[in-house]
Amino acid sequence: MNITRPQQLSTFIKEHRKKHGITQAKIAELVGIRVATISDFENKPESCKLETFFKILAALNLQMGVTTREHAPNDPQDQWTEGW
């Protein structure tokens, strides 16, 4: 799966969590963060800290891989438009 936007990432993780019957409360308990933080990530991923993101991945036994693109993105939605 190619993920190019924060919302795609949070949707994938939320679907994975639900598919495996894991609640937001369980993730929060496993990694020591608030349920509201999990909810914020799933609904507003662009405001999530990287540290929180990796804690959520760990709780779900997921890992992230990064690869180079074979070509420049043609779809404007695939181009990064967010500010830092």
Handedness of CA 28, 31, 32, 36 (dihedral sign): negative
- The DSSP 8-state label assigned to residue 73 in this structure reads -
Q: Check whether 84 has a pLDDT greater than 70.
A: no
pLDDT at 14: 97
The residue extents of the domains of the chain are 6-62
- Tokens coding 30: 């496993």
Task: Give residue-wise pLDDT tens across range 4-22.
Answer: 899 999 999 999 999 999 9
Angle made by CA atoms 64, 69, 70, in degrees to the nearest 5:
140
Q: What is the 3-state secondary structure (H, E, C) of 32-44?
A: CCCHHHHHHHHHC
Q: Which CATH class is domain 6-62?
A: mainly alpha
- The answer, as to whether pTM is greater than 0.75, is yes
